[in-house]
Amino acid sequence: MKNFFLTLHLISMCLVVGTLFLQSLSVVIRLRLKTREELAGVQFVQRRIHKFIYYPILAVTLLSGLYLAIHTGAFSKGSWLYVKLFLLLLLIVFGILNGKQIEKDVFPKKYAMMVHIPIFLIGAGMIYLATLKPF
């Protein structure tokens, strides 16, 4: 059962990070669109992805990670998990920021372009912590 939840957790985590990265990239692409119809179409797709893909996959990731942490005793084995949970909270904050960017019609270009860099770095940090368990 552990292998099933580990596989589920890894796949869903990759989908969460990928969805966030794609959403932040689509916000940047939306800045280049000219017509109102194009903007409305892209914004509609962005909202659907955020509500019906990002949040359910995030829930699967959280629940499978919680199952793994409890059943493997990870909370008592090392403090790397607490750092990973902090990074998870940051990733959720960036997901909320992505949702706010999707809803707004006007937002600063610098702000829109700088969201996907931390998403990548946080995802890489979480993978590093889970793989090597450095402390």
pLDDT tens-digit series, residues 60-103: 999 999 999 898 887 777 778 889 899 999 989 888 888 887 88
pLDDT band at 109 (very low <50, low <70, confident <90, very high): low
Say what the pTM is.
0.84
In this prediction, residue 113 has a pLDDT band, given cuts at 50, 70 and 90, of low
DSSP secondary structure code for residue 35 in this structure: S
pLDDT for 106 beyond 80 = no
| Angstrom distance (rounded) from CA 126 to CA 133 | 10
Let me know how many helices (H) and strands (E) the chain has, helices first: 7, 0
